[in-house]
Chains A and B, each alone.
Chain A
Amino acid sequence: MTDAANTSNADRVLRHAGVDRAFHWLTAATVLTLLATGLLPVMGVKFSWVTIHWIAGVVLTAAVLFHLVRATFWQKLKCMWIGMRDLRDAIRHALPGKYSLAQKLMHHAMTLVILTAVATGLCMLAKVDTPWWKRNPYFFAADTWGIIYVLHGLAALTAVTLIMIHVYFALLPEKRLYLRAMWRGWITRAELAANHDPNRWQGQRDLRR
């Protein structure tokens, strides 16, 4: 990490653009806020959590929509797709392209969890007084509300497990280059050569000062 910090811009390649890093950390902040406001009351910590929870949910929804549009039209969806080659590479311990199989699996699992939480959370907004509408608990039938609550809770609990695993791997010494890349944007050319197949991902030249 220290050696990497001493490298010049010429020795660095861009892994994550600033806008993608901002999306990642905004998502992290909103998901942690949502989990804290949703689960602390369950554990007996009583406070007025509903307003913080739904506002954080709306911010997360906006961030997810932005990412969906950006990933679809401005980024390569293929680099996140899981193919047979990813499975073969993982078994043979071959160097991956931009993302390893484990990173793709984590991304897809988090995508499923967050989309479930967002979709059910948007339905649950019908039960909350907001500046734009009054609550309507009869918007759905009781059985439908039950399914919505089960899916929302299941997404929350799965998120707890996934975040624990995600943070653990991000803090491993050999994976810290990816944590730095998510914070500062770049990895060094030496790290690129040691961890990625140059035929599948060369990074982008980082020209920032």
Chain B
Amino acid sequence: MSRYYQPEIETAPREKILEIQNEKIVRQVRHVWDHVPYYRHLMEEKGLTPEDIQSVEDIRKLPFLSKADLRDAYPYGLLGTDLKNCVRIQSTSGTTGKRVVAFYTQHDIDLWEDCTARAIVATGGSEEDVVQVCYGYGLFTGGAGLHGGSHKVGCLTLPMSSGNTERQIQFMMDLNATILCCTPSYAAYIGESLAEQGYKPEDNNLRAGIFGAEPWTEEMRRDIEKKLGIKAYDIYGLTEISGPGVAFECEEQHGMHVNEDHFYVEIINPETGEPLPDGEKGELVFTCLDKEAFPLLRYRTRDICVLNRTPCSCGRTHVRMAKPMGRSDDMLIIRGVNVFPSQIETVLLAEGYTPNYQIVVDRERNTDTFDVYVEVGADQFSDLMSQIQRMEKSLEGALRTMLGISPRVHLVAPRTITRSEGKAVRVIDRRKLHD
């Protein structure tokens, strides 16, 4: 069993990777200049021509693309080749505005599926494996991406798509699935359903899971691993760049290796757009290096993340990105400290609370106030006032340790946190009213 799908590139010396990137970026920028008038115009506004980009060092000169550009250019404005060369469309869910529609040539599909194949092999996957894909099939990239990678590795692929948990469990048990691919929340749900049906974690044949497409915490990982009796691997991707597999986790479970031969990654200061040195927290930006149909350059993901270039014991030489810690548009600055709602969620889960909470930030006498309202679960409620007040104090302490500033914690009754259209309103920032 090989540890790598494409060992030569996955473990290439850093100089080799840089050489590949330098070669590819020159061609990619030229391709975009020739085929994408929208981006060519952005370059011209900055006085740039393709000749200005001679290596990845020069990428920092290029203009950014954002979600707004994708909206403006919808649907064909960022297309990098004739439609007759395209073989596929995938699309985002459109929860944050207009749908993103991404185009693929067969070349683009191939490189994307190579990436997901690398992710599957990194979990120990081989043609011996039975891969159950319960990401949604269709426009969503989750199903198609893992499905293609599974084929490339030669695994027996169960194209389940999402939902119908009964049937998922029946196929999982009857056909001895060994690798599960879905969202982490669905993995946790399948784990619970298995337990409800009387199955113990060792009763299934699963040994690994590849979970992504939504934020999840380290606590959730441990919980899923325990419930299913597997090792849970993180995967990262976005439709704009290709889909899942832009980065994937190895057996170290300590950051996701970015497929740097296809995607150049930067971390920038979300306020100024300046690139930040490795190890600093900022917004994740990707530049495609060899795509034909949808070759986005310097696309701002809005995910806040940290890069780690220290060598990995797995032998892969590609840079690792941490699990994104939040969205740049979610970040709050409270008394000068950066606070992400996801950090609060991590603490709540670790302390045994439900992730139903609300952050209220306000300003009193020129100082930010920071209140966190948390719903108490039935198993935590005590008839003793002193006990509830101790719980509040203890949660304040845990949040202070994580965030570096002290919130006031208020325990509230279940279902009292305001919800809008089914989604909890996580942050109320009243400071804006005073500015």
B is a partner of A? no
Q: Measuring CB to CB, which residues of chain A are less than 8 angstroms from any residue of chain B?
A: none
Q: Measuring CB to CB, which residues of chain B are less than 8 angstroms from any residue of chain A?
A: none
